[in-house]
């Protein structure tokens, strides 16, 4: 039996509450004969309290050895004053850097049962199922020079620099094309080649990789401003959107809002493929943060965290049937009308974190 090594990093705030529900799901799959080995460690503020840093070297070692890392959320008002280098968010940045996680995948799925709760017209988003692939380690957030200086004339001048190499674009393009092959076989690549040199290079490289290695996948190019407009106007035209760090930041937040709730959205961050095993380093986390306002109250929606484990099943472990089964269980529980507070219509009944997690386990059981 293949064993899959999972490192659980629940973190702070609602992180541990939603991770506890994932542990129940993992337990259910284990009972059904799948070989999951789990370890748990600290990250973020809880790691700072214990070790004085946002992630210990021991936890980093465990992350390197794991087949996948499941990450909850970090931070909260308790740690607002801690030194910058050891602030809770530094734990996630260290993981991203050391694991080389350069591709951020954010699916936007709109469950039919929730379409009514959306502010958009039902027919636009119902059944929406797209993924934004965002380049995570390059671009204008990291390019040099980056500075804010005072000039001799007393004015100030700020500079950010967008830099991409063809190699960086190739590897993110391959992640998007590989993903599209497992979905509806379409990639939309987004940049601004009309005003940016990095956009020109982006379009050239994505076209070349597409022609040479993925002739079976449909490729289109969409200028980023138009992409934002199309996402709001007619999001179902897309399957996989691949874009740079800055545009991806913005476009993935737009896509997120099409689906209704932050508590529903999973994400994955992938690194380079290991040529020996074919596996990529990977970290899976909900899009939402530690939600200090509801932490400790048992109110958090665990679906984003559970869905993130679903992505691990699909992308790290190749357990496609199991991932489908988990997604179906989530859809069925929603269709039955069960809601946590964040997705319940005002004035209607809502259940807590634990009830939602346990209902999903029961639904997994009922399907088999
Ligand atoms: P970060 O800076 O880490 O992104 P944030 O404060 O911007 O954190 P969140 O912590 O995600 O964002 O919280 C934003 C709002 O959404 C809060 O009101 C929070 O309670 C709510 N929220 C976030 N996640 C969930 C969840 N899983 N279930 C219910 N409500 C949630
Ligand atoms: Mg935020």
| Tens-level pLDDT at each residue, the chain (368 residues) | 689 999 999 999 999 999 999 999 999 999 999 999 999 999 999 999 999 999 999 999 999 999 999 999 999 999 999 999 999 999 999 999 999 999 999 999 988 788 765 555 566 688 899 999 999 999 999 999 999 999 999 999 999 999 999 999 999 999 999 999 999 999 999 999 999 999 999 999 999 999 999 999 999 999 999 999 999 999 999 999 999 999 999 999 899 888 877 899 999 999 998 888 888 999 999 999 999 999 999 999 999 999 999 999 999 999 999 999 999 999 999 999 999 999 988 888 999 999 999 999 999 999 87
Cα separation, 206 vs 164, in Å, equals 13
Give the residue, out of 54, 74, 289, 303, with the most ligand 1 atoms within 8 A of its beta carbon, to mutate for a pocket test: 289
Distance (Å) from CA 293 to ligand 1 centroid? 8
- The answer to whether residue 225 is catalytic is yes
Give the per-residue pLDDT at 308.
98
- The answer to whether residue 211 is catalytic is no
Looking at the chain, the domain(s) classified CATH 3.40.718.10 span 1-104+261-368, 129-258
The superfamily CATH assigns to domain 129-258 is: Isopropylmalate Dehydrogenase (3.40.718.10)
Give the per-residue pLDDT at 1.
67
Options 5, 129, 141, 186, the catalytic residue: 141
* Residue 56 annotated as binding site: no
193: exposed, middle or buried (Cβ count in 10 Å: 0-12, 13-18, 19+): middle
Asked if 109 contacts 323 with a C-beta cutoff of 8 angstroms, the reply is: no
* Residue 30 annotated as binding site: no
* Residue 280 annotated as binding site: no
Strand partners for 222: 190
Residues within a 6 A CB radius of ligand 1:
14, 75, 262-263, 288-291, 293-294, 300-301, 304, 342
Give the per-residue pLDDT at 121.
53
- The answer to whether residue 249 is catalytic is yes
Distance (Å) from CA 218 to ligand 1 centroid? 36
Distance (Å) from CA 246 to ligand 1 centroid? 21
Give the per-residue pLDDT at 260.
73
Give the per-residue pLDDT at 88.
97
Integer-rounded Cα radius of gyration of the chain = 21
CB-based contacts of 68, cutoff 8 Å, min separation 6: 4, 5, 6, 7, 282, 283, 284, 312, 316, 317
Phi and psi of 284, rounded to 5°? -120, 130
Phi and psi of 263, rounded to 5°? -70, -5
Give the per-residue pLDDT at 235.
95
Q: Is the pTM of this model over 0.90?
A: yes
240: exposed, middle or buried (Cβ count in 10 Å: 0-12, 13-18, 19+): buried
Give the per-residue pLDDT at 117.
58
- Reading the block at residue 198, the tokens are 């990095």
Fold held by 1-104+261-368: Isopropylmalate Dehydrogenase (3.40.718)
Asked if 161 contacts 145 with a C-beta cutoff of 8 angstroms, the reply is: yes
């Amino acid at each position: 039996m293949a064993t899959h090594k999972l490192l659980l990093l629940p973190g702070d705030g609602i992180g541990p509450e939603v991770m506890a529900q994932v542990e129940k799901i993992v337990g259910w799959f284990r009972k059904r004969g799948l070989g999951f080995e789990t370890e748990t460690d600290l990250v973020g503020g809880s790691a700072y309290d214990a070790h004085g840093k946002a992630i210990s070297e021991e936890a980093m070692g465990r992350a390197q050895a794991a087949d996948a890392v499941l990450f909850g959320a970090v931070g909260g008002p308790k740690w607002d004053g801690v030194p910058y280098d050891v602030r809770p968010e530094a734990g996630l940045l260290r993981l991203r850097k050391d694991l080389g996680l350069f591709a951020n995948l954010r699916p936007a799925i709109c469950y039919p049962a929730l379409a009514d709760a959306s502010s958009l017209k039902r027919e636009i988003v119902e059944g929406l199922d797209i993924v934004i692939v965002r380049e995570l380690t390059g671009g204008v957030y990291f390019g040099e020079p980056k500075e804010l200086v005072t000039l001799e004339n007393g004015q100030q001048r700020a500079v950010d620099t967008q830099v991409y190499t063809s190699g960086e674009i190739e590897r993110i393009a391959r992640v998007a094309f590989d993903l599209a092959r497992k979905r509806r076989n379409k990639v939309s690549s987004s940049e601004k080649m009309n005003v940016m040199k990095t956009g020109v290079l982006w379009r050239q490289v994505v076209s070349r990789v597409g022609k040479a290695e993925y002739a079976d996948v449909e490729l289109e190019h969409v200028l980023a401003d138009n992409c934002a407009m199309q996402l709001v106007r007619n999001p179902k035209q897309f399957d996989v959107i691949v874009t740079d760090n800055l545009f991806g930041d913005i476009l993935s937040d737009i896509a997120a809002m099409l689906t209704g709730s932050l508590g529903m959205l999973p994400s994955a961050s992938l690194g380079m493929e290991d040529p020996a095993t074919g596996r990529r380093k990977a970290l899976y986390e909900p899009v939402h943060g530690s939600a200090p306002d509801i932490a400790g109250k048992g109110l958090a929606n665990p679906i984003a965290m559970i869905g993130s484990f679903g992505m691990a099943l699909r992308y790290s472990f190749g357990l496609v049937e199991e991932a489908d089964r988990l997604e179906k269980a989530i859809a069925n529980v929603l269709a039955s009308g069960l809601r946590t507070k964040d997705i319940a219509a005002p004035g209607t009944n809502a259940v807590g974190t634990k009830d939602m997690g346990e209902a999903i386990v029961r639904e997994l059981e009922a399907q088999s």
